[in-house]
Amino acid sequence: MSYLIRLVDNTEFPEEQCRLIEQRYDRALVHQLGSPEQVAQARRAWVQAKTREDEATETDLSLEEKQAIVRWERAEAAARLLAFEGYTGALEDIYIDVRVSPAG
């Protein structure tokens, strides 16, 4: 696997529940994007596109960059919903970090 998923700064869930949430999130991302390699590739493409988006106007982004942003954000939103299925608290305060190892 070329990425790491971690539930960040969370005191609400016990350690075992955090691991289960992270595992469900990972499985959901793989289901949405195809494979662990494609998850890492989609995350890298999203980071690059968002960096360019922050530095330029939206009209300066290529179609591929716009698609990378939409693809990751849709997959991430679906993964969050599946990872926290049954949870009744506020999700906007919970952050899941996805760290991708450098390409190479």
Confidence of residue 53 (pLDDT cuts 50, 70, 90): confident
Whether residue 9 is predicted with pLDDT greater than 90 in this model: the reply is: no
Tokens 């760290």, residue?
99
pLDDT score at 6: 94
pLDDT tens-digit readout, 68-101 = 999 999 999 999 999 999 888 887 788 899 999 8
Q: Tell the burial category of 8 from Cβ atoms under 10 Å away from its Cβ (0-12, 13-18, 19+).
A: exposed
pLDDT of residue 102 exceeding 80: no
Instruction: Output the pLDDT for position 93.
Output: 80
